[in-house]
Chains A and B, each alone.
Chain A
C-alpha cells in the first residue's frame, strides 16, 4: 500500500510527468514573451516533484485544491494540455472558457477546485470539500496545495484547526520554496520549521525533500493511508525551490544567482534522471522517446490554442449567476 513500486514503467511515468510540466511551462514562457499569454504567469520550474509525487497517491474520486502556481498540479492531475493552453490564450476552448486564465484552472471532471490566487484562500475551501465528501460518505480525500507564504495567513491556522477538530480527510501539502514572492522564509517566520505549525493542531506532519519525486510519492502514500484509515488530516512540508522568477514581473533582487544555480544542480528532473541512468534504469532512447512525445503534446496544445475561438462578448455575463447546479 504505502510503498512506491519503482518498476520500470512507473519510473518512466514519474520522469515523463515532470518533463511534461517542465516543457509545457518553457513553452508558456516563450508564448508570454510573444504576448500570446498575458496577465500574471507563475511558473513552477523546480517544483515538479511535489505535484507529480503527490498525485501518484490520489485516486480519481479525490479532490484537489491548488494555488495560482498550479500548472504542475493541473497537468499531473490529468487535465489535458490542450484545455490548459487554450485557457491561457483566453479562448472559449479553455478549461474555464477563458474566464480564469493561468491562475484559475478548474476541472469539474477531475475534481480540480482551482487555481486560487488569494494566498491561503484555498485552505478553507479544501476543508469544506472534504467535509462535503465525508458527509456524503464518498471515501475520498482532498489534497490542498499551498506555499509556505500561506502559513502566515489566518486562514491557514483556522483551516488546520477546523480540519483536525472534525478529523476531516485533507492532505495539506505545503510547497516550501523558501520565498513568498520576494520574502525569504527566515525573514517572515518566527518559527521557520513549517511542519511544527501543523503539530500545534495535532496534525501528523512530515518534512519531505521536495526535490526527490520518489520521496514525495512515498510520503504522500503514507499520508493518504493515514487519512483513508480515518485519522484525519495529514501535513507534508515539501522543501523545494523555484528556479524562475515569481512571475513575469520580477527582477529577483531578493536572492543571489549562485543560490539559484546551486538548487538547479539538485533539480527534481536532473536528479531523478541521473539516478535512473546511473542505475541503468533508463536508456538514452527511452529518454529521447519521452522528449519527442512531450514535444508533440506541447505542440498540439499550442496548435489547439492557436485555433481556438474567442468567447462571444454576448456571453460575458454568463455564469455570474448559475441557472442550475451542474449535474
Chain B
C-alpha cells in the first residue's frame, strides 16, 4: 500500500513560487492498475516522481508499508528504488552506448545486499526478462537499431529486472503508434495480472486509461477524480468524454470547454 497524505510541491525561483501539487491525498493498493490523467502542467509527472521516490523534496508524507519515504536517507531511498520500483518513460531512456542486455542489467550495478548479483546471474536474469518481453534475439543490439516499440519493451525489461513490486510509467505509449501501444498495454496487463505488479501510469492515451481499473484525474495540483479509491475492481471513475475534451483542449492551449471540476479529496 502506498499512502500519500497532504503532499504539496512547490518550485521556487527568484521571481515566483509555482505550487504544482496543492495537497494530494491518495492511496494505491498493492496490485492496482492506476492511470493518472490530467492536462499538461497539472502535476501528473511531479506526482509520479514523488510516488516513485525520485523526488523527496515535498511537504506531506508518502508511506510505503510502514516506511515514510521522506525520512529515508539518499542511500536507503536509492536502494528502495532499486529493489522495488521499475520506471518506464515516454522516450524510453535507454543508454545509447550500451547494448540491450547492458541496459537491462544496469540496475544490478547499483544493487546492494541481497539484490547484488554476479555478472553471470545478472545476464541470466536479463535474458529471462528479455524473453518475457519477447526480445531475446535483440540481446546484443544497440538501442539505435531498434524500433520504438522494441525500445519500450527493452525499457520495460529493464524495469522488470529487479522483480519490482511497483512500476511507474510516464506516458509509456506517447511515442508509439496505436498497434504498438496496444501490444505494450497487453504486456502491462499481463504483468499486473500474472505477476501482481502494481502499475501507476501517467497517460494522455484514452486506450490506456480505459484499460486501467482506476483513473485518477489531476487538475491544477489537486486530485479531482479517483483519489482515495481502492480499485481492485473495474474503475468506477473512467474518464468521461467531457473530461477528455477538457484535457485535450488544455494541452492544445485552447479555451477550457467548462467541464465541471470535482472537489479535491479531503
Judge: A and B partners, yes or no. Answer: no
Measuring CB to CB, which residues of chain A are less than 8 angstroms from any residue of chain B?
Answer: none
Measuring CB to CB, which residues of chain B are less than 8 angstroms from any residue of chain A?
Answer: none
